[in-house]
Amino acid sequence: MIWTATLIANIGYWMYNAASGWLMTSLDAHPLMVSLIQVAASLPMFLFALPAGALADIVDRRRYLVGVEIGTTATATVLAALVWSGFVTPVSLLLLVFLAGTGSALGSPAWQSVVPQLVPMEDLPAAVAADSVGINISRAIGPALGGALIALVGIASPFWVNAIANLATVTALLWWHAPSTTVTHLPAERFASAIRTGFRYSRNNRHLQATLKRAAGFFVVASAYWALLPLVARVQIGGGPELYGLLLGAIGAGALAGAFALSGVKARLGPDRIVASGTLGTAVALLLFGRAHEPLMAAAASVIAGISWISVVATLNVSAQVAMPDWVRARGLAVYVTVFFGAMTLGSIAWGELAAYAGLPPTLYIAAAAAVLAVPVSAG
């Protein structure tokens, strides 16, 4: 039930994600403004994931998530109404994307930390992989549907679908009741103390620190194609919203294929080599994006990017999960999410600025070179 509900909500999210990037190319096509869509979506994770992780460890996670998802649905509804009425501006779009990202930031550590409550610990890697499969099914379907809806119905339609689809998670959370946990007679942990404890534990956990170093090395360079893909589709290739949606969908399809193959590959290569291979694959994808002046090459780059993305992200997610005991799991995962999206945010700003100065292809080539240089960091 939870998996199906999040699949529905994520399809709506990826439709909205594609529509937001495309809408900004219509409102203001300056590379920095377009890349700021990715910044507005990523920055809340950097700012709020750690306090959200502390909250998730000291309050009832189910009730907390219900409140967060209701707030996210309300924000999505306001954004859809603004787009539909024609009153949206670049600034209001960025602001509401930031608010929607804040909902994701507040909920992400809690969502990740309830996974061990849904499956036995020995099935946790498979459950994380199943979660990745669901995300990438939605990533493959959502953008393509979003692009088609924009062309057939109008730019506001994906925003309305996102608002409605998010109700699926609210319904599933109201239906689900977490298993009972051991009752403790210790006093409740305070919010500020919970943050300090989580940060201190994460700083002294060698396994988590190694995961964080690899995450930082990878996500800074991977942010380049996420931030600049709307301009690759619209400016460099000269396509419409359908092409942009299909390219995002191809990333999702590649990630989905990679998720199914990952367990067998991991047994042969091990996690360190998988992360290194995924980082090199990202470099290849960035090179192809830089050379793409027709849809076929861009689609090939998207598939390679998706396979590489899921190889690294799923491996790092499992590494972060197993590094943390249950009592501090949400806070440790929040630290991981903070590094993840902090790197995405800084990378998106940097690549957007560079693209405004040097142009799209040179920026993508520089990002590819940076990915190759990041391999020693990502591998260990």
**Closest Cα to residue 259, out of 370, 104, 140?**
140
Interval 72-126: pLDDT, tens = 999 999 999 999 999 999 999 999 999 999 998 888 777 877 777 778 777 877 7
Quick one: pLDDT at residue 206?
Answer: 76
Q: How many whole angstroms separate alpha carbon 374 and alpha carbon 186?
A: 45
Q: What is the mean pLDDT of residues 52-75?
A: 85
Q: How many whole angstroms separate alpha carbon 301 and alpha carbon 192?
A: 45
Q: How many whole angstroms separate alpha carbon 330 and alpha carbon 198?
A: 9
Q: What is the mean pLDDT of residues 278-292?
A: 96
Q: What is the mean pLDDT of residues 17-43?
A: 92
Q: How many whole angstroms separate alpha carbon 299 and alpha carbon 305?
A: 10
**Closest Cα to residue 168, out of 148, 144, 138, 147?**
138
Residue with the two structure tokens 């109700």: 167
CA 331, 332, 338, 341 dihedral sign is negative
The letter for the amino acid at 20 is S
Structural fold of domain 2-174+204-379 = Growth Hormone; Chain: A; (1.20.1250)
Quick one: pLDDT at residue 49?
Answer: 77
Residue with the two structure tokens 């199906």: 4
CA 100, 310, 124, 220 dihedral sign is negative
Residue with the two structure tokens 């998706």: 306
Percent with pLDDT over 70 in the chain: 91
Q: In Å, how far from its chain's centre is CA 22?
A: 18
**pLDDT exceeds cutoff 50 at 282:** yes
> pTM of the full predicted structure?
0.78
Q: How many whole angstroms separate alpha carbon 282 and alpha carbon 223?
A: 10
Q: What is the mean pLDDT of residues 25-49?
A: 90
Quick one: pLDDT at residue 186?
Answer: 44
Which tokens belong to 343?
């790197």
Which tokens belong to 282?
């990202």
**pLDDT exceeds cutoff 50 at 183:** no
**pLDDT exceeds cutoff 50 at 362:** yes
Q: How many whole angstroms separate alpha carbon 361 and alpha carbon 289?
A: 8
- The burial class, CB within 10 Å (0-12 / 13-18 / 19+), for 86 is exposed
Out of 11-20, 192-201, 232-241, 289-298, pick the least confident: 192-201
The letter for the amino acid at 251 is I
Average confidence score pLDDT of the chain: 86
What Å distances lie between residue 260 and 4, 267, 300, 365, CA to CA?
Answer: 18, 13, 19, 30
Q: Which of 172-186, 189-203, 361-375 has the highest mean pLDDT?
A: 361-375
Percent with pLDDT over 90 in the chain: 45
Report whether 155 contacts 22 (CB < 8 A).
yes
